[in-house]
Amino acid sequence: MWEVVRSVSTEHEAWRRQRWLRVDSGVMQEDCEAQLRTVRGLPRAAHEWDVFVWLTESVNSFHVRFQALQVLMRRWILRLKGRRLTLANSFSSDVCLCWIT
């Protein structure tokens, strides 16, 4: 259990620090789904533990916010079609994910 918690926390922290322009949505989507499968695959007895509930909520929350971010990205691309968009390289994914919460 604790290895999964550490792994998920480390991945989420890395995703939050990742630069907006460098986000590979396909890879991140696959990683989110892998995290969901890993958490759901933990032993049944662990499902009653507070840490399991927290971990499940954390993974689900991140997954939902990421999906919302993907929708926003698609809408921005459609709206900006033919226009130029300039974002600072320091613009991180964490900023975008915070807007969605």
Q: Is this prediction's pTM over 0.85?
A: no
pLDDT of residue 99: 44
Domain of 57, in residue numbers: 2-100
| 51 half-sphere exposure, CB direction, 13 A CA radius | 11
Over its length of 101 residues, how does the chain's per-residue pLDDT go in tens digits?
899 999 999 988 888 787 766 677 778 888 888 998 999 999 999 999 999 999 999 998 888 887 787 777 777 766 666 665 555 444 455 545 444 44
Based on its alpha-carbon atoms, the radius of gyration of the chain, rounded to whole angstroms, reads 16
pLDDT of 91? 47
Residues 6+ apart with CB under 8 A from 12: 58, 62
Q: How many domains does the chain have?
A: 1
Q: Which amino acid is at 59?
A: V
**Cβ partners under 8 Å of residue 6, min gap 6:** none
- The predicted pLDDT at position 56 comes to 92
